Structure 1
Amino acid sequence: MSLSTKEKKYCKWFWDETLGGEFDTWGTSTYFIEVIQVGNDLCATRQIEVYENGNVLFYDDNHFADNYGMLCDKPLSKADLLEFGITRAEFEQIWQTKTPINRLSWLAEAEQHDISN
């Protein structure tokens, strides 16, 4: 599988463990990750986490960590893409239609800024 430096790829997998602690009631989750090749590594650029209870988290370069978690900081493998690969359309459909709970204050601030300008 050839992957150019700028080409984005997408994968999805089900995580059958809960976060534990105060977020244990969220249940299990499905991860959607966009990756690009950096050198020999496949690095996450955007990530969506959809939890069993309906909570959704988004991470990217503009919001890479918070009290819930963070953008994946471990390289993925080409085998991950082969086994768990999805289309860009599937990833974008989730990114465009879900409302992440870890971005609500950020979105409100952005909307306020747009309204005042």
Structure 2
Amino acid sequence: MLTLQKTKKYYKWSWDVSLGGEYDAWGCSTYFMEIDSNLYAHRQIEVYENGNVLFYDKSHLADNHGMLCDKKLDDKNIEEFEISQVEFEQIWQSKTPINK
């Protein structure tokens, strides 16, 4: 019997454009994402230059700052940004989000 395994991958990239408006002072950000085998985000972390951190997941999809990415990602465009699960989990466990 063949068992299909659902694998997750982890990515990190810098976004060099600020949010603008009332959040402009936050500065640029680094995104961390946990992506399922269907290329949808399960967890997302945003770490801003001013120290603010935002977390999104299935239990907290959106708020007035932003939302969990709801678009299917193109793995060909993000594969160069892949990180380990350990690196992702270290950020998830060590950062305190302002939106949860």
Q: TM-score range by the shorter chain?
A: over 0.9
Q: Using the TM superposition, give the Cα deviation of residue 76 of structure 1 relative to its aligned residue in structure 2, in angstroms.
A: 1.2
Q: Hey, what's the Cα distance between the residues in 1 that align with 2:5 and 2:98?
A: 32
Residue in structure 2 matched with residue 14 of structure 1 by the alignment: 14
Deviation, 1:53, is 0.1
Correspondence for 1:44 among 41, 44, 60: 41
List, as ranges, runs of 4+ consecutive aligned residues in structure 1 with deviation greater than 3 Å.
none
Q: Deviations over 1:1-30 (max 9, x none)?
A: xxx661110000000000001000000000
Superposed displacement of residue 77, structure 1: 1.6
Q: 1:81 and 1:14 mapped to 2: Cα distance? A: 12
Answer 1 or 2: higher relative contact order, Cα 8 Å, separation at least 6: 2
Q: How many percent of aligned residue pairs carry the same amino acid?
A: 65
Partner in structure 2 of residue 65 of structure 1: 62
What SS is found at the alignment partner of 2:90?
helix
Residue 81 of structure 1 deviates from its aligned partner by 3.9
Count of residues paired in the alignment: 97
Equivalent residue for 1:89, pick from 74, 86, 90: 86
- Give the number of the structure whose alpha-carbon radius of gyration is greater: 1
SS at match of 1:37: coil
Gapped regions of structure 2 (runs ≥ 5): none
Alpha-carbon separation, structure 1, partners of 2:5 and 2:59: 21
TM-score by length of 2: 0.92
- Give the Cα separation in 1 of the matches to 2:30 and 2:89: 15
- Provide closer, same or farther for how the CA distance between residues 74 and 5 of structure 1 changes in structure 2, counting only shifts above 3 A: farther
Partner of 2:74: 77
* Greater share of helix: 1
Aligned 8 A contact 1:9 1:81 in 2? no
Where does structure 1 lack aligned partners over 5 or more consecutive residues?
104-117
What CA distance in whole angstroms lies between the structure 1 residues aligned with 2:49 and 2:5? 34
